[in-house]
């Protein structure tokens, strides 16, 4: 196995260890905890009265627009990282290129700002 | 130190066991020192003093034992499978963070080449768990809490990522071990004894990172997702017993890990000026790193205990209209200095 894959094998092992730990703790807990089912216990909490309607209520559409903006910016951030690592070799050329890139990025933010997307209400 | 080469599998199991014991220990230490003691002093509350005799040190362990004995309740209307899995997803995200944090020249689980990038990617996995928890609970408070959490975590993910770029530019590498070495081998105006902790040049970046980390951890003043006076407990409302404990552990475990990453990026991680290489660096590493982690965790909790909660629109405006433009400026300024000097 190559060194590269082996490094990520460790990551996978750690993920599996987390699953194992949670499983072990829950299994251990099952041995200790009481189980006394009553219908009242399984009603959703809503300030102590019986819940009104279903739990899956409608929510603010604003979150959707912010999520779209986030996807855009996050992908741009991914592009910035390789440049940041190699900046010493790229020197002035890289600096100018990234300057243009970030100005375009900032223009996008200014556009969203002026359009009122960043206003919450 | 490791004169004998330990085979891969044994070494990995050893590392896994160590990290497995570090995470609950970290949660207990942070919870005890800051939540129970510092908050009690800062906010003139009475913290627990009785359990265990000495300043109530047994309190959190007792709380843990209490959680073990609680009934495991899943609401009747909930999406059972997703509900049960959500704490696991959050905890995996915390657990994977510890893979790349170095505690000494050789004391690191795995020194990935894309270390800091990996850490940022993994830390944002927790959002999925939070959304799962809120959605599967079939509870209005939980749903609102999880949507707030998602909106907040994605807004502050960007300043966090962009603040780190400044450090990457200075260090020429994304590997956390490489970043520590870049600081240990650096020099301030030709003085190389002290190294060059990036806090000196990346003060703005550190401020952005700390604010964004505060929001990622949903600590006050960014605690709307779990605002107890509005949303009961946000996405955790329907959780009880062990599954609630997992959320608690993940919160404090992540606080510890993010403090460790901030310490590594800006304070030089495990290095101290006296022993930069050799066995003493490995011995001193965890102690030095631990001290730096406690310093940064102290800052985080100090802010938490001092400021009142933001409004949701103020929160979004602070990220999008202030932190993100500032971090873009920080990137450009760092890059210009790097190329010109």
Please answer whether residues B31 and B252 qualify as being in contact, where contact means their C-beta atoms are separated by less than 8 angstroms: yes
**Interface pTM (ipTM) of the complex?**
0.82
Residue predicted with more confidence, B304 or B226: B304
Residue A102 has pLDDT above 70, yes or no: yes
Residues with Cβ within 8 Å of B107's Cβ and at least 6 positions away in sequence, in order, are B270, B282, B285, B286
Contacts of B313 in chain A (CB under 8 A): 119-121
Contact A46 B140 (CB under 8 A): yes
Please answer whether residues B296 and B269 qualify as being in contact, where contact means their C-beta atoms are separated by less than 8 angstroms: no
Contact A59 B312 (CB under 8 A): no
From the list B91, B141, B331, which residue is nearest A102 (CB)?
B331
Any idea what the Cα angle at residue B253 is, between residues B251 and B258, rounded to 5°? Answer: 95
Percent of chain B with pLDDT over 90: 4
Put simply, whether the predicted model's pTM sits higher than 0.80 gets the answer: yes
Residue B213 has pLDDT above 70, yes or no: yes
Residue B1 has pLDDT above 50, yes or no: no
Tell me the nearest-neighbour CA distance from A83 into chain B, angstroms. Answer: 8
Residue B146 has pLDDT above 70, yes or no: yes
CA B324/CA B320 separation, integer angstroms: 6
From the list B19, B147, B246, which residue is nearest A22 (CB)?
B246
Selection from B176, B228, B221, B229 nearest residue B312 by Cα? B221
Residues B221-233 pLDDT 10s: 888 777 777 777 7
Q: If DSSP codes are grouped into helix, strand and coil, which group holds residue B188? A: strand
Contacts of A15 in chain B (CB under 8 A): 92, 95-96
Residues A5-55 pLDDT 10s: 877 888 888 888 888 888 888 888 788 888 888 887 787 777 777 777 776
From the list A36, A59, A66, which residue is nearest B143 (CB)?
A59
Contacts of B317 in chain A (CB under 8 A): 118, 120
Beta bridge partners of B188: B191
Percent of chain A with pLDDT over 70: 95
Residues B252-267 pLDDT 10s: 888 899 999 999 988 8
CA A85/CA A77 separation, integer angstroms: 13
pLDDT of residue B208: 92
End-to-end CA distance of chain A: 54
Percent of chain B with pLDDT over 70: 98
Please answer whether residues A90 and A80 qualify as being in contact, where contact means their C-beta atoms are separated by less than 8 angstroms: no
CA A46/CA A57 separation, integer angstroms: 13
From the list B16, B88, B138, which residue is nearest A44 (CB)?
B138
DSSP tag of A116: T
Cα-to-chain-centroid distance, residue B126: 12
């Amino acid at each position: 196995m190559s060194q590269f894959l082996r490094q990520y094998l460790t990551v996978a092992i750690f993920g599996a260890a987390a699953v194992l730990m949670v499983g072990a703790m829950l299994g251990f807990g099952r041995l200790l905890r009481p189980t006394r089912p009553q219908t009242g216990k399984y009603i959703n909490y809503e300030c102590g009265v019986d819940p009104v309607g279903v739990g899956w209520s409608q929510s603010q559409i604003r979150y959707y627009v912010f999520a779209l903006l986030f996807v855009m910016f996050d992908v741009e951030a991914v592009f910035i990282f390789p440049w940041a690592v190699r900046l010493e070799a790229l020197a002035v050329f890289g600096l100018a290129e990234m300057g243009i890139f970030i100005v375009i990025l900032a223009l996008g933010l200014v556009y969203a700002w002026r359009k009122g997307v960043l206003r919450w209400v | 130190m490791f004169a004998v080469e330990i085979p891969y599998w044994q070494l990995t199991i050893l590392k896994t066991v160590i990290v497995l014991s570090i995470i609950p220990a970290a949660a207990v230490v942070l919870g005890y020192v800051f939540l129970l003691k510092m908050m009690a002093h800062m906010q003139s509350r009475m913290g627990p003093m009785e359990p265990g005799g000495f300043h109530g040190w047994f309190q959190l362990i007792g709380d843990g034992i209490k959680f073990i004995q609680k009934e495991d309740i899943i609401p009747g209307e909930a999406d059972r499978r997703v509900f049960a899995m959500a704490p696991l997803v959050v905890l995996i995200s915390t657990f994977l963070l510890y893979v790349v944090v170095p505690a000494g020249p050789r004391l690191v689980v795995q020194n990935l080449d894309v270390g800091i990038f990996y850490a940022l990617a993994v830390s944002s996995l927790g959002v999925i768990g939070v959304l799962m928890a809120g959605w599967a609970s079939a509870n209005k408070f939980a749903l609102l809490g999880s949507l707030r959490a998602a909106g907040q975590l994605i807004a502050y993910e960007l300043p966090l990522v962009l603040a780190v770029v400044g450090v990457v530019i200075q260090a020429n590498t994304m590997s956390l071990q490489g970043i520590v070495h870049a600081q240990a081998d650096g020099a301030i105006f030709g003085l190389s004894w002290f190294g060059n902790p990036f806090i000196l040049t990346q003060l703005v970046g550190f401020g952005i990172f700390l604010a964004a980390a505060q929001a990622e951890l949903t600590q006050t003043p960014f605690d709307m997702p779990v605002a107890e006076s509005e949303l009961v407990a946000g996405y955790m409302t329907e959780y009880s017993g062990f599954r609630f404990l997992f959320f608690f552990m993940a919160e404090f475990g992540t606080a510890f890990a993010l403090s460790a990453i901030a310490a590594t990026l800006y304070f030089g991680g495990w290095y101290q000026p006296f022993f930069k290489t050799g066995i003493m660096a490995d011995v001193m590493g965890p102690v030095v790193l631990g001290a730096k982690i406690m310093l940064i965790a102290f800052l985080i909790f100090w802010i938490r205990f001092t400021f009142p909660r933001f409004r949701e629109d103020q929160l979004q405006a602070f990220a999008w209209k202030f932190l993100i433009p500032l971090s873009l400026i920080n990137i450009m300024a760092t890059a210009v200095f790097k190329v010109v000097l």
